[in-house]
Amino acid sequence: MKPKKLVRALATLAVLLAGGACSVAPMSAPSLYQRLGGDVAITAVVDDAIVNIAADPRINQRFASAAIPSLKSKLVALLCARTGGPCTYTGLDMSSAHEDMNVRDVEFDALVDDLVKSLDKFKVPVREQRELLAILGQMRNAIVGH
């Protein structure tokens, strides 16, 4: 190849490599669902949190007559869906699910405490815990006081 053609070819290649004529789709960041470890990890945390709740005298009476298997599966589906996972939550919206229960702030906080114990037990990183707790916080007004 002649020197002028080589220089032109290299210049064209440099423009292409710099993005002048090609585009690369940016990689999307993993969802919170993925960063938590997916369905298996969410299920393990929920199972452990239910054990904590059952042992917590601040709130265990609220769950004394609950259908625990159904509660677990709905909570897993809810967390899966809200964290960007492939699940579809088919349960009631939070206001309807807690209607006439008169859940108090201290009870909501107790449940969150019990969940955090499980998140800590499974060594869920602080960033992911904060994101998950922010999602729960968004539901607070639909749960407390109804």
> What is the per-residue pLDDT across 10-26, written as a single tens digit (0 to 9) for each?
444 344 444 544 455 56
Is the overall model pTM greater than 0.85, yes or no? Answer: no
Task: Tell me the pLDDT tens digit for each residue of 26-64.
Answer: 678 999 999 999 999 999 999 999 999 999 999 999 999
Report the distance separating Cα 42 and Cα 143, nearest Å.
21
Half-sphere exposure of 18 (CA within 13 A, CB side): 7
Give the Cβ contact number of residue 30 at 10 Å: 10
Domain spans of the chain, in order of start? 30-143
Beta bridge partners of residue 103, listed in sequence order = 144
Helix, strand, or coil here: 19?
coil
Domain 30-143 fold is: Globin-like (1.10.490)
